[in-house]
Structures are given as C-alpha cells and as structure tokens.
Amino acid sequence: KDQLHIVSTRLSLEQRRAQLIGAAIGLAESKGVASVTTRDVARAAGVSLGVVHYCFENKDAMMTELVKALSMELRDSADQATELRPGVTGVGALEDLLRIALAALWHDVESSRDRQLLTYETTTYALREGGETPGKLRIAREQYEFNDATLADMLEKLRHATATEWTVPLHTLSRLALSLIDGLVLRWLVDEDNAAAHQQLDQVSALVASLAVPAE
C-alpha cells in the first residue's frame, strides 16, 4: 500500500516508468542486458523492488519498453530535421528531405555509440533467450515492428509533403530502408568510418527516392 502511495503521489506512473527505463539503460550499457535484473534497476533508481514490479510485470516487459525508448530517441531527431518546405514537390525534393532526415538520425548515432551497441545487444539477447523462453522473442519482434512503423510514418509524411507516390507497398519500402540503415549502423560500430557511412546514407536516400514517382 505504501509503495503504491509513493508511485501515485510523487511521480505519475508514466514518469516512474521513464525513470526506471533510464536506470535500466544505464545499467545495460555498463554491464550488458543479460546481467541486468529488476533488483539492480530498483537499486539504481533508488526505489523499492515493489515499485519496479508495480510499473513492469517482469524484466521482459521492461526490456520491451527499453528498446522502444532507444528507438524513439532516433525517431525524434529525424522528425525534427524534416521540417517541410511548402511548395517544394517532386522526387528530387523527396530525396533531399530523406537525406536531411537520415543525416540528422546519423548525427545522433555518432554521438551515442554505446546506445547503438545496446540496441543490437537487446536484439541478440532476445533471440538467444527466445529459444527457451518464447516470450523473450517478442522483445526483438516488437523492437522491429516499432521501428518499421516509425520509418513508414516518416516516409509517408515526406511522400505526402512532396506530392509523390511510392511504386512499392509502404510496408515493403519501410522494411527495406530499415534493413539498410540497420546494416549501416552495425558496420559503423565495427569500423567507425564516418565518411563512408555518410556516403552510403546518401545512396540509401537516392535508392528510396527512386521508388517514388510524381503523384498524378
């Protein structure tokens, strides 16, 4: 009862969950996803274990929200960069906006290497553990479903703003673009070649834009 009172009066449930996710991210960056426990998170956040269990059913539920939080950081940076220019339409304008959005996203990637490494670690953790605990597989699947939906939303906004149409289904396009970006981030984590990454991002923008035509 006292724990529930603390949650409801000091911080809203959403605020408390955000605090716990922040603590979990810090722990996962320093000691690895597999080693993080709900007790560790409670200690790092300065709350009781009961508060953690009130906010999240279990560690898997917390990890699912953790990967969404990491994805939302990059989504927000791309959204802010694509402030639309009224009256600028066509496939060329679409490619320009794509390039701006991906450059902004990449700026955040370069400034948060440990965070990017963590996103891959959470994926491999979920896949490795998913064989024995199928519920853990949802962590990776929801991570990619969220990223697919986020990228699809951005692509659709840019398409609408530039009066263009996609020549392939939006889901297919977002999945392709996400796979390309995902691979670029992983390669950059290996070799940290910023120049090559920026050149390849431009190629991704050109490739995606080539799958659009002016709206009729």
Structure-block tokens of residue 199: 């050149």
Phi, psi of 161 (to 5 degrees): -65, -30
pLDDT computed for residue 83 by the predictor: 58
pLDDT computed for residue 5 by the predictor: 43
Structure-block tokens of residue 106: 């990449």
pLDDT computed for residue 74 by the predictor: 63
C-alpha–C-alpha distance, residues 158 and 212, integer Å: 11
C-alpha–C-alpha distance, residues 203 and 42, integer Å: 44
Q: Calculate Rg over the CA atoms of the chain.
A: 20
- Give 1 or 155, the one with higher predicted confidence: 155
Phi, psi of 166 (to 5 degrees): -80, 145
- Give 97 or 32, the one with higher predicted confidence: 97
Which pTM value belongs to this model?
Answer: 0.79
- Give 125 or 184, the one with higher predicted confidence: 184
CB 209 within 8 A of CB 98: yes
Phi, psi of 37 (to 5 degrees): -120, 160
* CATH domain 1-56 topology: Arc Repressor Mutant, subunit A (1.10.10)
pLDDT computed for residue 176 by the predictor: 95
- Give 139 or 193, the one with higher predicted confidence: 193
pLDDT tens digits, one per residue of 154-210:
899 899 989 999 999 999 999 999 999 999 999 999 999 999 999 999 999 999 999
- Give 115 or 214, the one with higher predicted confidence: 214
Q: Three-state DSSP class for 49? A: helix
**Listed residue (5, 12, 170, 198) closest to 106, CA to CA:** 198
For CATH 1.10.357.10, the residue range(s) in the chain are 59-214
59-214 maps to which CATH number? 1.10.357.10
C-alpha–C-alpha distance, residues 176 and 172, integer Å: 6
pLDDT tens digits, one per residue of 95-123:
999 998 898 889 888 988 888 888 888 88
Q: Is the pLDDT score of 144 beyond 70?
A: yes
Q: Residue 70 — very low, low, confident or very high, per pLDDT cuts 50/70/90?
A: confident
For CATH 1.10.10, the residue range(s) in the chain are 1-56
DSSP states along 60-72: HHHHHHHHHHHHH
